[in-house]
Amino acid sequence: MNQPVSSLPEKDIQYQLHPYTNARLHQEVGPLIIERGEGIYVYDDQGKGYIEAMSGLWSAALGFSNQRLIAAAEQQLRTLPFYHLFSHKSHRPSIELAEKLIEMAPVPMSKVFFTNSGSEANDTVVKMVWYLNNALGKPAKKKFISRVNGYHGITLASASLTGLPGNQRGFDLPLPGFLHVGCPHHYRCAQPGESEEQFADRLAAELEQKILAEGAETIAAFIGEPLMGAGGVIVPPRTYWEKIQRVCRRHDILVIADEVICGFGRTGQMFGSQTFGIQPDIMVLSKQLSSSYQPIAAILINDRVFQGIADQSQSLGTLGHGFTGSGHPVATAVALENLKIIEEEQLVEHAAQMGQLLHAGLRQFADHPLVGEVRGCGLIAAVELVGDRVSKAPYQSLGTLGRHMAARAQEHGMITRAMGDAVAFCPPLIVSEAEIGLILQRFARALDDTSQWAR
């Protein structure tokens, strides 16, 4: 029986099960309780401030406590706090946001379908593609191909798309019909002497071999993040997406761009698809869509995909899929205002400029004994730590350096994220030149601490 507790940390331990957390370890160490946020900073319940160098979860594009987003939410709550989109119902914010997203899309798109999260969106994409191919008389064309280390969410289908063991071990995942090909990480996965272009050739050939081995008539879609986020901020090698798409088109396989992290300026252009030359049939958007002030995600489909889905919904009488919160009026109103701010304040261009400063600063650590690789694109970066620079082997075990480094950064007033031994940086798009300097200073202190500890 639970014993009465009084402090907030004790209550957290007593009553809450945390995502992405070792539940037993949490009982020992307890939570970092964040009370408030302002700009790129968050503050804990003791008043200590931290640079949020991860934008929360790659997502708070406008930082914290943006008054325009707060006002947009408040106004919508007073006008229409909730309504749904089922059975021909609609409302102004969802209509206007759908129109805006179609206008912004980097390739011609036809329709927008709203969900509450990127995981729900990718789960929905799987169902939509199955529904589409049933409509097209291709009932066998149902398998999805994604990549090792890719991240596409944590629902049953989206976690099956994901290529990270931590999201699948213990859950009996991936489900049948979800296939994975190699990770496009040149530093880790290229053969000795293999150029980026040669590596891309090999990955494209691997994809084609997988398709031929399974039978192209069974493969529905290939999904990938333009730049991998949670897998370690993996920038694809030169010509990679060009060659992958060529294989997919040759075998009538849909190309799906998971823009959940990359979208709305993170890579230095509005969409990662523009940065890496992707022409997707389907795009998945979330996170920076509302700066995560409200839970929302959007799926953009091209006309070919829409027509098949529309025909099937007529044949069956309905598109039997949706969520209570799909296109929620408060979430869509906040997202609309968020996109207006990104455009008005030219934050995509600003992110590109700040990204150059961040990467230049991080590259100054490239010769450090613990640094294996500095990588990234736009305003997203990672520093991969190694125990041995020649062999690229980890120190003690994988993740040891990353965990220690992230803990030391937090002690110095900066929240980062360690993915294995890759320490990520993804500050809000509003970050200033001076704040980039502070991020680099606090990283340097944490790296010094980690180096002394490892010695």
pLDDT confidence of residue 82? 98
Termini Cα distance of the chain: 46
Contact at 8 Å (CB) between 442 and 436? no
Domain range annotation of the chain: 32-65+346-454, 69-344
pTM across the whole model: 0.96
The whole-angstrom distance between residue 409's C-alpha and the CA centroid of its chain comes to 22
| CB within 8 Å of 37: residues ≥ 6 apart | 43, 52, 60, 63, 64, 65
Pairing of strands 422-425, 417-419: antiparallel
Domain 32-65+346-454 has CATH 3.90.1150.10: yes
| CB within 8 Å of 455: residues ≥ 6 apart | none
Q: What token pair was written down for 214? A: 């399974």
**Using CA of residue 71, residue 55, residue 117, residue 133, what is the dihedral sign?**
positive
pLDDT confidence of residue 3? 66
DSSP letter for each residue of 165-215: GGGTTTTT-SPTTEEEE----HHHHSPTT--HHHHHHHHHHHHHHHHHHH-
Which contacts of 341-346 are long-range, i.e. CB under 8 A and separated by 24 or more positions?
A: 341/62, 341/66, 341/68, 341/69, 342/61, 342/62, 342/264, 342/265, 342/288, 342/429, 345/430
Q: How many CB atoms lie within 10 A of CB 414?
A: 25
pLDDT confidence of residue 455? 87
Q: What token pair was written down for 24? A: 């037993």
pLDDT confidence of residue 6? 79
Q: What token pair was written down for 30? A: 């307890």
pLDDT confidence of residue 415? 98
Q: What token pair was written down for 58? A: 């790659």
pLDDT confidence of residue 2? 59
Which one, of 242, 317, 428, 293, lies nearest residue 87 by Cα?
317
CA–CA separation, 234 and 274 (whole Å): 17
Query: Which parts of 206-248 are beta strand (E)?
Result: 219-224
CB-count exposure of residue 260 (10 Å: 0-12, 13-18, 19+): buried
> Mean pLDDT for each consecutive 10-residue tract of the chain (455 residues)?
78 96 96 98 97 98 98 98 98 98 98 98 98 97 98 98 97 98 98 98 98 98 98 98 98 98 98 98 98 98 98 97 97 98 98 98 98 98 97 94 97 97 98 98 98 94
Q: What CATH code is assigned to 69-344?
A: 3.40.640.10
